[in-house]
Amino acid sequence: MKLGRELVSADAIQRRVREMAAEISRDYARVDQPLILLPVLKGSVCFATDLSRHLEVPVNFDYVAVSSYGSGTESSGHVQLLKDLTMDVAGRDVLMVEDIIDTGLTTAFLFEHVQRHRPASLKLSVLLNKEERRIKPVPIAYKGFDIPNQFVVGYGLDYNELYRNLTAVHVLEP
């Protein structure tokens, strides 16, 4: 597999991230405790970091990590929690931050997991959405881009742990 053409440019990502941050800042302007940003490791780190720097509301960070068993370009659907919440999210406003939603299995699992801790609200922001691949529906509150059914890397997303540091999103090619 090798790095293919650019699908979403660094400029387009930065522009969209600023728009999303403005929308999120408006929606959470009136909450009395800091919004808890909950990036899903590791892929969401670039997106969550950039997004947070444009937010105009107070935030806390917590992180969760999952493995979906299996490498390469197919997720297996068996989701395992590798790192749990460390903050008490009960009664708090939580915004999960995802890099990409493909089948939806990972996000649906995490969403249900966080919901069990009784947050005041739980919403989902995602940079990239592959709608065509959805198996399990997930409620996306803030969406960056719809993309076609292709395996992509960059801006946090990896192929066998490579390419996470790219500033743009690229297609991976055989």
Side chain identity at residue 28, one-letter code: Y
Of 7 and 64, nearer to Mg ion (C-beta) is: 64
User: Can you read off the two tokens belonging to residue 109?
Assistant: 């699992």
- Give strand pairing partners of 171: 152
Q: How far is the CB of 88 from ligand IMP (least distance, A)?
A: 25
151 contact choice in Mg ion, ligand IMP, none (CB below 5 to 8 Å, kind-dependent): ligand IMP
Task: Residue 20: count other Cβ atoms within 10 Å of its Cβ.
Answer: 22
Catalytic residue (choose from 50, 93, 99, 102): 102
Q: How far is the CB of 68 from ligand IMP (least distance, A)?
A: 5
Q: Say how far apart CA 17 and CA 7 lie, in whole Å.
A: 16
Interface of this chain with Mg ion, residues 25 to 64, rule: CB under 5 A: 43
**Residue ranges binding ligand IMP (CB under 6 A):** 43, 68, 75, 99-107, 151-153, 157
x/- mask, Mg ion, residues 97-126, rule CB under 5 A, reads --x---------------------------
Of 44 and 119, nearer to Mg ion (C-beta) is: 44
Write the CB contacts of 63 (distance below 8 Å, at least 6 apart in sequence): 38, 39, 40, 41, 83, 86
Of 89 and 128, nearer to ligand IMP (C-beta) is: 128
Radius of gyration of the chain (CA): 15
Of 22 and 162, nearer to ligand IMP (C-beta) is: 162
Exposed e or buried b for every residue in 47-72, given b needs 16+ CB within 10 A?
A: bbebbbeebebebeebbbebebeeee
129 contact choice in ligand IMP, Mg ion, none (CB below 5 to 8 Å, kind-dependent): none
Identify whether 102 is a catalytic site residue.
Answer: yes
User: Can you read off the two tokens belonging to residue 1?
Assistant: 């597999």
List of residues contacting Mg ion (CB under 5 A): 43, 99
